[in-house]
């Protein structure tokens, strides 16, 4: 019976496109299902060492909790006065972009019946630390530019695939201004 249930689903690129279509129809009827909130907690461990946990999130009109919390470690390499216990914040940003571009392409392709057989991508971001170090205030503090190279095997051409990437939320956040509100609280 569980085999029968599995066979009823159409999978494209590892995505359950029946469930995908049901989600779209459900959101059309009840738009508030699409309001999500993601969260992270950061615990400073000393120097450049950070421990981050991601656990609960909100979506489909309810609080959602995973079985276990995801733990991540961030640090700086010794070149940047750290102890190299984990990737830098810069590499976490490229990780966010890369996984969002990949998933956006794969999910959008699945919805349109486009098959993706292989998908790899490389990311590089240039940053000039003169800005952060206060040596030259005219230098931007963030990435000057991020470059992405995508290597894909698909039955669709690259112009079609390029269009699908434009749906990526993290690409939107990086390319366009996003408000960040910061408040200090005391326990």
96 binds its own copies (CB under 8 A): yes
- C-alpha dist (Å) from residue 49 to 46, 94, 134, 180, 182: 6, 19, 22, 23, 21
Please say which residue, 4 or 127, places its beta carbon nearer to its own copies.
Answer: 127
Which residues, including other chains, have CB under 8 Å from residue 122's CB and lie 6 or more apart?
A: 148, 149
If we measure between CA atoms, which residue out of 91, 90, 113, 89 comes closest to residue 164?
Answer: 113
Coil/strand/helix, residue 112: coil
Please pick, from the candidates 106, 109, 114, 164, the single residue that binds its own copies as defined by CB under 8 A: 106
> Minimal distance in Å, beta carbon 164 to its own copies?
11
Q: With contacts defined by CB under 8 A, how many residues of the chain interact with its own copies?
A: 122
Query: Within positions 146 to 185, which residues make up the interface with its own copies, using CB under 8 A?
Result: 146-152, 158, 161-162, 165, 167-185
Please pick, from the candidates 7, 14, 63, 138, the single residue that binds its own copies as defined by CB under 8 A: 14
115 binds its own copies (CB under 8 A): no
19 binds its own copies (CB under 8 A): yes
139-147's contacts with Cβ under 8 Å and 24+ in sequence apart are: 143/90, 143/93, 146/94, 146/97, 146/174, 147/123
> Minimal distance in Å, beta carbon 4 to its own copies?
20
> Minimal distance in Å, beta carbon 27 to its own copies?
5
Please pick, from the candidates 6, 61, 66, 163, the single residue that binds its own copies as defined by CB under 8 A: 66
């Amino acid at each position: 019976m569980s085999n029968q249930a599995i066979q009823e689903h159409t999978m494209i690129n590892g995505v359950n496109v029946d469930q995908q279509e049901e989600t779209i129809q459900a959101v059309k009827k009840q738009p508030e299902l699409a309001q999500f909130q993601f969260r992270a907690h950061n615990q400073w461990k000393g120097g450049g060492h950070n421990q981050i946990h991601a656990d609960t999130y909100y979506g489909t009109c309810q609080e959602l909790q995973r079985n276990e919390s995801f733990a991540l470690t961030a640090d700086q390499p010794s070149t940047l006065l750290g102890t190299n216990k984990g990737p830098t914040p810069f590499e976490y940003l490229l990780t966010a972009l890369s996984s969002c571009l990949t998933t956006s392409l794969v999910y959008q392709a699945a919805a349109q019946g486009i098959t993706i057989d292989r998908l790899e991508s490389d990311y590089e971001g240039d940053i000039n630390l003169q800005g952060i170090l206060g040596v030259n205030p005219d230098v931007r503090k963030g990435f000057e530019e991020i470059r992405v190279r995508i290597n894909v095997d698909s039955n669709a051409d690259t112009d079609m695939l390029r269009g699908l990437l434009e749906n990526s939320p993290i690409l939107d956040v990086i390319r366009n201004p996003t408000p960040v509100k910061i408040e200090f609280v005391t326990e």
